[in-house]
Each structure stands twice: as structure tokens, then as C-alpha cells.
């Protein structure tokens, strides 16, 4: 999905939809502080929102899930039917019910989601949370006509990788593949479903995944993928052992690393500081995969905002790993895979629906 181009000086028009007066005011206030965003309206339920869309012509709708009259999921269905190109970001609570509904919304075509506390805390904390999470997620879909992306999507210089002896790159064709490692963010649930559903039962190596999601969400994602795919999919747990054909998804708010214990490879979870503002972080996983498997890795960086995974791919490439980056046309956001591709680190830059085939070819 290409980012929408706005004229120089134009602002992103946002319609805020939430049944809570307090939340509507908070979101409106937080978004209005940003000079690149204009809140063009607010609605208390889906019916009102649908009637306002033709009037205020938003580029983005922030859509609460639980509302009276017409809830967020039904509103999303109507938006996708009547305004298929309108960017929609769901706004849900960090609860089991909120996470399940968010998964449903992503399956229905929501572009992304942001989370809010179950209970509104202090004004300052609530505004800070909205600025740091919701604002970048709105901006990630846009670029200005002068070619300058929004401030939220400009990639800063990657942090220095941990010190290690520099080794020349090894040809990916000389390595036996022992594991598949995947990093993904915005658009991840659909992308993972597309890839994993195409892999055959009896897949000969383990698969480890970092998807940027909070707690509860990663468990529900694993459960849904397990029901959709021929492979066994589980959320990571401390000490879990890898096995051929087993898919392990990193747990929200915990970094996931791999460690060798005797003849087994085990999962280790920790809450060390976030990297690239993420926990779990793809870079953390990729570095540990390189430590355990060397170059015997197929690494795939799929759709997502930001640069997480870039440094980890650099480490993997020095050891001969084979790296796949999802192409721009099939990505919801071409941030993570785009940086890997433009850095010349990808052995293949390919559409989402061909990635499973490329993985199978490398593993076999």
C-alpha cells in the first residue's frame, strides 16, 4: 500500500469516533497539537460517523470498538463497503474483549489499531500516550508532495549494534537452513496468516516470530493463527523448546531470545529495555537467532512502521543468512522491509503471496 501523497502544507484530516465524551476530547486535543493533523469532526457512534464522512471528507477515521447504536466493527464494515480507501485506525482497550475485537477489526480490513487504558488516568499521562502511539500511527500512511514524509515516519539513524567481531558476508547459497525468523508490525496479522497458511504440514524447521503487539493481543493472535494454519502456533513461554514445524510468536511486552541448552534450543523471555521503542523487538530476536544458528537462517521482514529488524538483519547477513523483504506494493506500511531493501540487505524483495514459496524453497 503506497502512502497517500498530500500537497505541501496540507494537514491530515481526522474524524474521531468514540462514545465517551472524555475520550473524544482527549483524542481531539492530542491530535490538534500536531501541526500536520486537523481534527475535522467527532462522532459519538457509528451511525453519526457514517453520516459525517461525506460532509467532512476525512483522510483517517479513529474508530472506537465498543459503542452504542452502531459499534466499531459494524461501522468498519460499512466504511470498507462505501469508502474502501479511507484509512481506519481502531481504538481499543488493553483487555481480552478489546483485543479479540481488534483482531476481528484487522481481519475486516482496519489499517491499524491503537490501545487506550481501560480507565482514563491523569490527563497528562493520557495525552502523552496518545501523542506517542496514536499520532505516529496516523502519520505512517502519508507523505507530503515535496517528498518529505511526516515527522513520525522519518527513520532516525539506527542505534549502534552490540559490539561483535566483523565478519565478511557469506554466500546465502552455502548455508543449510535450520530455522525461519520473521519480524513484522503494522499489517502483521493478515501478513502472517497469508504466509503461515501456505506452509505445509510437516514443515521441517521451527519458525520464530516477533509481531509488535501488546500483552493479550499476542496470545489471541497465536490462537487465531493456530486455528487457520496447518502448523502448530503458540505464544512464547519461558523455557519453551523449539521443534520442526512449530511456530512461536513472541509475547507482548517481553523480548524473545533463543538459547542453546544441551541439544535443545529454548526460548528466553525478558523485560530488558525496549529497542527501537519496541518490546518485543525484532532486532533482539534476530541477534539471538544469529548467535544460535549462525547463517543457517531464513529471515523475513514483513510490513511494518519503523526500522526494527534492520540491525538484526545486518548481523544475520554477516553469517550468510538468506533475507526476504516484503515488497512495497503488498505492504500496509513499507517501513521495516523498505529499510532492509534499500540498505541492500535483502536477497529477495517480493510480494506477500510469494513469500511462503520462497521460504519453502530455501528450507528444502
The predicted structure's pLDDT at residue 113: 93
Separation of alpha carbons 226 and 238, rounded Å? 19
Shared domain check, 320 and 206: yes
Shared domain check, 207 and 339: yes
Give tens-digit pLDDT for 293-347: 999 999 999 999 999 999 999 999 999 999 999 999 999 999 999 999 999 999 9
The predicted structure's pLDDT at residue 4: 83
Residue 223 pLDDT greater than 90, yes or no: yes
The predicted structure's pLDDT at residue 152: 43
Those residues with Cβ within 8 angstroms of residue 205's Cβ, 6 or more apart along the chain or in another chain: 177, 178, 179, 180, 244, 245, 363
Supply the range of the domain harboring residue 70.
4-144
Cα diameter, the chain: 65
The predicted structure's pLDDT at residue 174: 60
Residue 167 pLDDT greater than 50, yes or no: no
Which has more pLDDT, 192 or 174? 192
Average pLDDT over residues 343-359: 97
Long-range (24+ apart) CB contacts under 8 A made by 166-172 are 166/318, 167/318, 167/319, 168/318, 169/317, 169/318, 169/320, 170/295, 170/318, 170/319, 170/320, 171/320, 172/295, 172/320, 172/321, 172/322, 172/323, 172/347
The predicted structure's pLDDT at residue 94: 76
Q: CATH no. for residue 72? A: 3.40.50.2300
Shared domain check, 216 and 125: no
Residue 247 pLDDT greater than 60, yes or no: yes
- Residue 166: how many CA atoms within 13 Å on its side-chain side? 2
Measured CA distances, 128 to 11, 125, 131, 216 (Å): 21, 5, 5, 22
Shared domain check, 101 and 248: no
Give tens-digit pLDDT for 79-138: 999 999 999 999 888 778 889 999 999 999 999 999 876 555 566 777 777 888 899 999
Average pLDDT over residues 225-234: 96
Tell me, yes or no, whether 130 lies in a domain: yes
The predicted structure's pLDDT at residue 126: 73
Strands (E), 192-263: 207-211, 232-235, 246-249, 255-261
The predicted structure's pLDDT at residue 226: 97
Q: How confident is the model at residue 1 (pLDDT cuts 50, 70, 90)?
A: low
Which residues are tagged catalytic? 185, 212, 308
Separation of alpha carbons 11 and 9, rounded Å? 7
The predicted structure's pLDDT at residue 155: 39
Tell me, yes or no, whether 342 lies in a domain: yes
The label of the residue with cell 511456530 reads: 247
Residue 159 pLDDT greater than 50, yes or no: no
Give tens-digit pLDDT for 8-31: 889 999 999 999 998 899 999 999
- What is this structure's pTM? 0.89
Shared domain check, 331 and 195: yes
Total number of domains constituting the chain: 2
Residue 260 pLDDT greater than 90, yes or no: yes
The label of the residue with cell 461501522 reads: 75
Shared domain check, 87 and 48: yes
Q: How confident is the model at residue 145 (pLDDT cuts 50, 70, 90)?
A: confident
Shared domain check, 19 and 129: yes
Average pLDDT over residues 352-363: 97
- What the block records as the C-alpha cell of 280 is 518485543
Shared domain check, 339 and 215: yes
**Average per-residue pLDDT for the chain:** 90
Q: CATH no. for residue 347? A: 3.40.50.180
Residue 17's DSSP bridge partners are 43, 63
φ and ψ of 353, to 5 deg: -75, 0
Separation of alpha carbons 219 and 302, rounded Å? 20
Helices (H), 57-154: 72-82, 96-108, 123-129, 135-139
Measured CA distances, 280 to 157, 215, 255, 275, 302 (Å): 20, 10, 4, 8, 15
CA dihedral for 348, 350, 352, 353, sign (positive or negative): negative
Tell me, yes or no, whether 150 lies in a domain: no
Average pLDDT over residues 62-66: 93
Amino acid at each position: 500500500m503506497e502512502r497517500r501523497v498530500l500537497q505541501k502544507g496540507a494537514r491530515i484530516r481526522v474524524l474521531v469516533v468514540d462514545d465517551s465524551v472524555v475520550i473524544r476530547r482527549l483524542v481531539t486535543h492530542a491530535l490538534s497539537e500536531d501541526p500536520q493533523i486537523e481534527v475535522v469532526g467527532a462522532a459519538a457512534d457509528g451511525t453519526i460517523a457514517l453520516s459525517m464522512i461525506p460532509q467532512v471528507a476525512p483522510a483517517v477515521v479513529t474508530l472506537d470498538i465498543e459503542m452504542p447504536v452502531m459499534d466499531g466493527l459494524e461501522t468498519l464494515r460499512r466504511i470498507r463497503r462505501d469508502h474502501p480507501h479511507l484509512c481506519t485506525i481502531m481504538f481499543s482497550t488493553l483487555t481480552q474483549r478489546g483485543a479479540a475485537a481488534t483482531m476481528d477489526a484487522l481481519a475486516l480490513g482496519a489499517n491499524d489499531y491503537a490501545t487506550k487504558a481501560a480507565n482514563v488516568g491523569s490527563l497528562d499521562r493520557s495525552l502523552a500516550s496518545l501523542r506517542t502511539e496514536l499520532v505516529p500511527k496516523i502519520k505512517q500512511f502519508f507523505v507530503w508532495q515535496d517528498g518529505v514524509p511526516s515527522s513520525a515516519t522519518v527513520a532516525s539513524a539506527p542505534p549502534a549494534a552490540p559490539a561483535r567481531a566483523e565478519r565478511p558476508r557469506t554466500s546465502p547459497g552455502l548455508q543449510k537452513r535450520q530455522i525461519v525468523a520473521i519480524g513484522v508490525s503494522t499489517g502483521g496479522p493478515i501478513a502472517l496468516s497469508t504466509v503461515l497458511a501456505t506452509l505445509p504440514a510437516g514443515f521441517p524447521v521451527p519458525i520464530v516470530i516477533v509481531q509488535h503487539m501488546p500483552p493479550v493481543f499476542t496470545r489471541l493472535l497465536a490462537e487465531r493463527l493456530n486455528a487457520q494454519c496447518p502448523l502448530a502456533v503458540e505464544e512464547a513461554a519461558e523455557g519453551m523448546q523449539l521443534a520442526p514445524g512449530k511456530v512461536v510468536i513472541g509475547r507482548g511486552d517481553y523480548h524473545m531470545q533463543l538459547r542453546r541448552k544441551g541439544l535443545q534450543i529454548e526460548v528466553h523471555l525478558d523485560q530488558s529495555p525496549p529497542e527501537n521503542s519496541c518490546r518485543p523487538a525484532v532486532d533482539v530476536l534476530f541477534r539471538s537467532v544469529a548467535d544460535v544458528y549462525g547463517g543457517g537462517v531464513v529471515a523475513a521482514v514483513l510490513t511494518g512502521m519503523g526500522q526494527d529488524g534492520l540491525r538484526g538483519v545486518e548481523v544475520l547477513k554477516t553469517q550468510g543468512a538468506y533475507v526476504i523483504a516484503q515488497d512495497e506494493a503488498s505492504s500496509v506500511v513499507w517501513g521495516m522491509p523498505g529499510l532492509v531493501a534499500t540498505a541492500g540487505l535483502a536477497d529477495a524483495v517480493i510480494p506477500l503471496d510469494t513469500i511462503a514459496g520462497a521460504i519453502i524453497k530455501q528450507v528444502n
